[in-house]
Amino acid sequence: MNKTVRAHTNIALIKYWGKADAQLRLPLMSSLSMTLDAFYTDTKIEKVTGPSQFYLNNEQQSAAASQRVFTYLKKLQDRFQVTGNLIVKSINHVPTSAGLASSSSAFAALAAAFCQCYELEVTPEELSRLARIGSGSASRSIYGGFAVWQKGDSDQTSYAYALDEKPAMDLHLLAVELNTKQKKISSTHGMKDAQSSPFFKPWLKRNDLELNEMIQAIKDNNFTALGQLAELNANEMHAINLTAQPEFTYFEPQTIQAIKLVEQLRAEGIECYYTIDAGPNIKVLCQLRNSKEIIQRFSSEFNNVKIVNASFGPGITYLD
Ligand code: 2P0
């Protein structure tokens, strides 16, 4: 039966920030992420005799807005030598204003919904490779808990695997919405431009070390080591953007203010760390016992701030 598919977003604790092959979305580095329970995309794809259409949140999308989806689905059709027009219906439970990229859940759900539609039996590894072609970070959303996307060096060898789908770690991610402005630099452009930084290559050389340290922190159930390393890795990515030629940054004044607040909380003994993606908003990593206090402090520091408290989400699930 052709089922609706649910995929959750993920946040990288070791970042993907550079492509070796833009067409296949082969990355220059391996990455590691946490899949989130609070944010997800539901997608169903059906074959139709009429024209192909894409509905997002029950609204039909223009040809321009649908282009990335259908270009992607055409690649999958070519790969599996199947044809036909398609109706794609997606509901995004990722508030666009939450400062979270929805492409990870969107393309993981599309890949799995495509396989449902054509009754293709694929392994999680193959599904991860298919999702990767749509959006790099989507390769990791096939799995729950912690996932590692091993960079590989070809379409066959670049895919994510489940590191720990049911982690014991007490880990919460507070998605803090400070700024709802549309980001000025897309991830695709940011990743490309970042490579002009003199620190890009040295950062790449550290990838194995940081990945292995993060895997160890997870195996040891060591929140402190995980938080420190996630913060370092995010700051390295943003330092590279700041030293690209020409330089650029996703930071806004509120980003720095939020970083200072995390540092202040830590100085007071409230253990928390931050990670930042290709936008101005920060995600705070903390343990359950401190989450209320941290939310309160962010709420009193920033007017009208929206905060979502997320923890581990599952991998691809099939609804209906
Ligand atoms: C990540 N980001 O590892 C990194 C960290 C943002 C910062 O993956 O071009 O939408 O579609 O492969 O996955 C965001 O970029 O990029 C991203 P494409 P994607 O999560």
Convert the pLDDT of each residue in 214-225 to its tens digit: 999 999 999 999
Are 77 and 42 in the same domain? yes
Print the domain residue range for 156. Answer: 5-167
**Are both 25 and 152 inside the same structural domain?**
yes
Least Cα distance to 250 among 176, 184, 180 occurs for: 184
98 pLDDT above the threshold of 70 = no
Q: Is the CB of 135 under 6 A from ligand 1?
A: yes
Coil vs helix vs strand at 209: helix
Same domain, 72 and 187: no
- Are residue 78 and residue 180 in the same domain, yes or no? no
Kindly state whether residues 236 and 90 are assigned to the same domain. no
Give the model confidence (pLDDT) of 252-297 as tens digits.
999 999 999 999 999 999 999 999 999 999 999 999 999 999 999 9
- Whose Cα sits closest to atom 14 in ligand 1? 187
Same domain, 254 and 178: yes
Looking at residue 1, what is its pLDDT?
87
pLDDT band at 320 (very low <50, low <70, confident <90, very high): confident
Q: What is the distance in angstroms between the CA of the first residue and the CA of the last residue of the chain? A: 10
pLDDT at 99: 56
CA 305 vs. chain centroid, Å, equals 22
Ligand 1 centroid – CA 17 distance (Å): 7
190 lines ligand 1 (CB under 6 A): no
Based on the domain organization, do 154 and 237 belong to the same domain? no
Pocket test for ligand 1, best of 137, 141, 231 (most atoms within 8 A of CB): 137
| HEC sequence for 49-90 | CCCCEEEECCEECCHHHHHHHHHHHHHHHHHHCCCCEEEEEE
- CA quadruple 204, 157, 187, 100: dihedral positive or negative? negative
Residue 108 sits in a domain whose CATH number is 3.30.230.10
The reply to whether 140 and 200 lie within a common domain is: no
275: which residues sit within 8 A by CB, 6+ positions away?
Answer: 11, 12, 13, 230, 231, 233, 234, 282, 283, 285
Q: Are residues 161 and 181 in the same domain?
A: no
Give the pLDDT of residue 106. 96
Tell me how far apart the alpha carbons of residues 179 and 97 are, in angstroms, rounded to a whole number. Answer: 8
pTM exceeds cut of 0.85: yes
